[in-house]
Amino acid sequence: MATIATPVLEEYAGGTIAREQVGLWRDGFRRLRRNRLALIAVVYLSILLAIAIVAIFWTPYNPATILPNTLTYLPPTAQHLLGTDELGRDLLSRMMQGAQISLIVGVGTSAIVLTVGVVVGLIAGYFRGWVDGVISVFINIFYGIPGILVAIVLYLVLGRGLGNIMIAISATAWMDMARLVRGQAFSIREREYIEAARASGARSGKILFGHILPNSLGPIIVQATFVIPIAILTEAFLSYLGLGIPSPLASWGGIASEGYAALPLEPYMMLWPALALSLTLLAFNFLGDGLRDAFDPRQRR
Amino acid sequence: MTDSILEVRNLSTHFFTDDGEVKAVRGVSFGVAPGETLGIVGESGCGKSVTAMSILGLVQRPGKVVAGEIMFKGSDLLKLSNEELRNIRGRDIAMIFQDPLSSMNPVLRVGYQIDEAMYAHDKIPKDQVKQRGIDLLKQVRVSDAERRINDFPHQFSGGMRQRAMIAMGLSNKPDLLIADEPTTALDVTVQAQILELLRDLNEQTGAAIILITHNLGVVAGLCKRVLVMYAGEIVEEGTVEQIFERPQHPYTWSLLRSVPRIDANRGHRLLSIEGLPPDLIDLPQGCKFNPRCPFRVERCFHESPPIEQVAPAQHAACWVTMERAYADMGAGTITDTSPGAASGVHPAGGKRAAEAEVPAAVAEAVND
């Protein structure tokens, strides 16, 4: 990494041997700030989030309205910065709404995965025995089935909708989280401070959520960050197949799908969602990598 | 003893491992009087900690208490439900662990961890918890307690962490404090401070203390009564003076001989107890100490000695008590042993016994 020695030097410049005492969080974020790729990712994602929020209140045109007197498949123009689609709808407006959908699906799925995975993982790892046996066997069975297949089947059963797509993606995505948390709980429960907490009369719930969970937050946050791009990609893929977000809601996957049909005629309609998806996925992955490095205790300086 | 707050009777805790049944604690009985300081000494793996964990019901799978009674304030701890036991842990019986660094959760503030022990029980009114946390930290002599209470454990030194652990243990005003090797991870000067603190707290709060250690000096500095454990059994019990001045079990005697003494001659050789503690899965026949005992007789190989009174308030489990060994030495004769006789010294051990001396001054050396 590019930045190694400077902060240490700064600390010693004060002439004290005792270094500044920092907690896990501040230390982690300080190291994240030094990671240039992660920083760029954070900036990009902040802009994307801003766009998605703006899109709640304002888009250049109504993304669902077929604009009168407007040509279809327009290339970028002054009126339509990203052009128009096959029905003459404004692509910029639709892309903005797509950003909204992608972020909602990504973060929403991550939240479901976080809740279910952490609770199940903690229980399995802490109580062990038959509870852990049942959960582990269940997870291992589902590991043999492609997650996308489960998501498609479940989504068709549940019916279309933004909430259902998140549930369908979470249906398999929580398992990685549960495995991770279970492993963490397995090792942390053997630590002496857990025994000490038990000896001081702490309840199981307190030990689980008050001691084991805070000690595994680093890896959990990293994993939760990696769930976001997976969810966004899965949603885009489903929408691309025509199974995703119901029309007329715009989704990047859906725009790409419609754009694919017009690719020889009008490449822009394919280009924008592809670009947006790639950048967003890349950004989340860089952020996740950055967080992983930041929370890695071995790199603590 | 009828006035004991804790009465352990015939406690046996075994671990059911893949290699076999590890009989870590076998038939241990002892009592603790209110405000008493009791030391439990023995080598690593002799069952001291398992005994403590059994009392608190913290023995983890594959371990299990297989027999016995642990009477505390009139109820058998082994028969209580998990919730009832949880209510006693940290409230009536508190425990301090060996390594103060790993005994504190690294991501939580010290004050939070001290308060947590109080919030877990209803003994201390909720609105007094914060203030009591600070007072406790002062009581265990952490300077600048108001500020340090918001520190994280890694900002504390080893000695301060152990003080904080003691504060945590005392937070609910327990009747009994079990200290499992509380000074082992600390350097000598800090050890002395911690022991002094425990002694003062014992006097101030009246909490009984069970001190578990392998360090005889630590026992001498704090405890009035001592249990010596070997291979999961209590082999000797007595007052601290008796144990140090007139040990009756060859194991106690050997332990004392292995402690360096500042008043000994330079040429004085330390005795190391030959061999290793027995495999707790496959225990030797007869007395468990017989493979390492310099005084063994034929009977030791066949029959396990019961623990018997050898002096007022002193008990030992040995066919050949040290009393007899001394007598033999004093007489200058080594009685030849006929097989099965309990009166003599084993020929193999007799020679070593002849060069033995009673380590009476050990107690004095470490006492002050």
DSSP codes of every residue in chain A: ----SHHHHHHHHTT-SSPPP--HHHHHHHHHHT-HHHHHHHHHHHHHHHHHHHHHH--SS-TT---TT--SSPPS-SSSTT-B-TTS-BHHHHHHHHHHHHHHHHHHHHHHHHHHHHHHHHHHHHH-HHHHHHHHHHHHHHHTS-HHHHHHHHHHHH-SSHHHHHHHHHHHHHHHHHHHHHHHHHHHTTSHHHHHHHHTT--HHHIIIIIIHHHTHHHHHHHHHHHHHHHHHHHHHHHHTT-SSPTTS--HHHHHHHHHHTTTT-THHHHHHHHHHHHHHHHHHHHHHHHHHHH-GGG--
Do residue A201 and residue B152 have CB atoms under 8 angstroms apart?
A: no
Residue type present at position B41: V
Q: What is the pLDDT of residue A175?
A: 94
Q: How far is CA A87 from CA A263, A272, B52, B345, in A?
A: 15, 17, 78, 108
Is A73:A105 a contact under the CB 8 Å cutoff? Answer: no
The radius of gyration computed from the CA coordinates of chain B, to the nearest angstrom, equals 22
Contact status of A301 with chain B (Cβ, < 8 Å): no
With a cut of 70, list the residues of chain B below it in pLDDT: 1-2, 264, 266-268, 322-368
Contact status of A78 with chain B (Cβ, < 8 Å): no
Contact status of A243 with chain B (Cβ, < 8 Å): no
Q: Measure A1 CA to nearest chain B CA, in Å.
A: 27
Q: Which residues of B touch A214 (CB under 8 A)?
A: 105, 107-108
d(CA A235, CA A251): 8
Contact status of A160 with chain B (Cβ, < 8 Å): no
Q: Considering only CB atoms, which residues of chain B are within 8 Å of chain A?
A: 56, 58, 61, 86-91, 94-95, 97-99, 102-108, 116-117, 120-121, 151-152, 155, 165, 168-169, 172
Residue A102 contacts by C-beta under 8 Å, 6 or more apart in sequence? A232, A235, A236, A251, A252, A276, A277, A280
3-state secondary structure of B76: strand
d(CA A31, CA A45): 19
Do residue B56 and residue A199 have CB atoms under 8 angstroms apart?
A: yes
Q: Which residues of B touch A201 (CB under 8 A)?
A: 86-91, 117, 120-121, 172
Q: At what angle do helices A217-240 and A24-33 cross, to 10 degrees?
A: 50
Residue A60 contacts by C-beta under 8 Å, 6 or more apart in sequence? A80, A81, A90, A92, A93
Tokens of B221: 């500095």
Q: What is the pLDDT of residue A100?
A: 93
Tokens of A49: 């989030």
Chain A residue with the nearest C-alpha to that of B59: A195
DSSP state of B118: H
Region class of B57: left (phi > 0), else alpha (psi between -120 and 50), else beta: left
Q: Give the residue from B91, B103, B178 with the most A CB atoms within 10 Å of its CB, the best one to mutate.
A: B103
3-state secondary structure of B100: coil
Contact status of A297 with chain B (Cβ, < 8 Å): no
Q: Which residues of B touch A202 (CB under 8 A)?
A: 86, 90, 116-117, 120
* Residue of B222, B221, B255, B220 whose CA lies nearest to B236: B255
3-state secondary structure of B62: coil
Do residue B103 and residue A192 have CB atoms under 8 angstroms apart?
A: yes
Do residue A23 and residue B152 have CB atoms under 8 angstroms apart?
A: yes
Segment B267-321, tens digit of pLDDT: 667 777 878 888 888 888 888 898 888 888 888 888 888 888 888 888 999 888 7
Tokens of A112: 């479901």
Is B133:B150 a contact under the CB 8 Å cutoff? Answer: no
Residue B308, phi then psi, degrees to nearest 5: -130, 155
3-state secondary structure of B30: strand
Contact status of A202 with chain B (Cβ, < 8 Å): yes
Mean pLDDT value across chain B: 82
With a cut of 70, list the residues of chain A below it in pLDDT: 1-25, 296-301
Q: Kindly tell me the number of DSSP H helices and DSSP E strands found in chain B.
A: 13, 12
Residue A180 contacts by C-beta under 8 Å, 6 or more apart in sequence? A117, A121, A219, A220, A223
Do residue B104 and residue A193 have CB atoms under 8 angstroms apart?
A: yes
Residue type present at position A188: I
3-state secondary structure of B254: helix
Q: What is the pLDDT of residue A23?
A: 59
Residue A128, phi then psi, degrees to nearest 5: 50, -150
Segment A236-257, tens digit of pLDDT: 999 988 888 887 888 899 899 8
CA count, 13 A, side-chain hemisphere, B70: 21
Q: Is the pTM of this model over 0.90?
A: no
Segment B29-44, tens digit of pLDDT: 999 999 999 999 988 8
d(CA B118, CA B109): 15
Residue B111 contacts by C-beta under 8 Å, 6 or more apart in sequence? B130, B133, B134, B137, B149, B150
Query: A–B: how many Cβ contacts below 8 A?
Result: 77
Is A30:A11 a contact under the CB 8 Å cutoff? Answer: no
Q: How far is CA B194 from CA A169, B164, B165, B185, B222, in A?
A: 56, 11, 11, 12, 10
Do residue B120 and residue A211 have CB atoms under 8 angstroms apart?
A: no
